[in-house]
Amino acid sequence: MDIIISTSSDTPLYEQIVDQIKQQILTGELLQQTMLPSIRTLAKELHVSIITTKRAYEELEALGLVDTVVGKGTFVSAAPTSQVREAAIVRLEEKIADIIKQAKIIGLTKEELKDLFLTLYEEE
């Protein structure tokens, strides 16, 4: 599992961990039932607090991406990837809806929003 943390980013450390593990699960880089490093091990590897990694794992579990088995560890969920992907799309749609509302409030046209979206999409 490859995770890169940026302490200069505005994104909280736990979110950086969540985003990268989520991406690895959704792309199939991390397969179902793969055991993740323990909270302590990951914290040590990333040079972050145990609280940070614990929160990241809790977020991933809430998203249905991982399952924690007491005494055994944390594993990539056995839920079909299509269900996990669909749930991620629903959350993304909610965020986009919020962005559209904000764009309307500041008077951005649909074309301007589309251009902004495409520009940012190409930069990523």
Q: What is the pLDDT of residues 54-112, one digit of tens each?
A: 999 999 998 889 999 999 999 999 876 677 778 778 889 999 999 999 999 999 999 99
- DSSP H helices, the chain, are 13-26, 39-46, 50-62, 81-105, 110-123
What's the pLDDT at 37?
97
Q: What is the pLDDT of residues 14-68, one digit of tens each?
A: 999 999 999 898 888 999 899 999 999 999 999 999 999 999 999 999 888 999 9
What confidence category does residue 124 fall into, taking pLDDT thresholds of 50, 70 and 90?
confident
* Residue pair 34/75 in contact by the 8 Å Cβ criterion: yes
Q: How far apart are the first and last CA of the chain?
A: 22
- pTM, two decimals, is 0.70
How far is it, in rounded angstroms, from Cα 88 to Cα 10?
22
Residue recorded with tokens 């914290």: 43
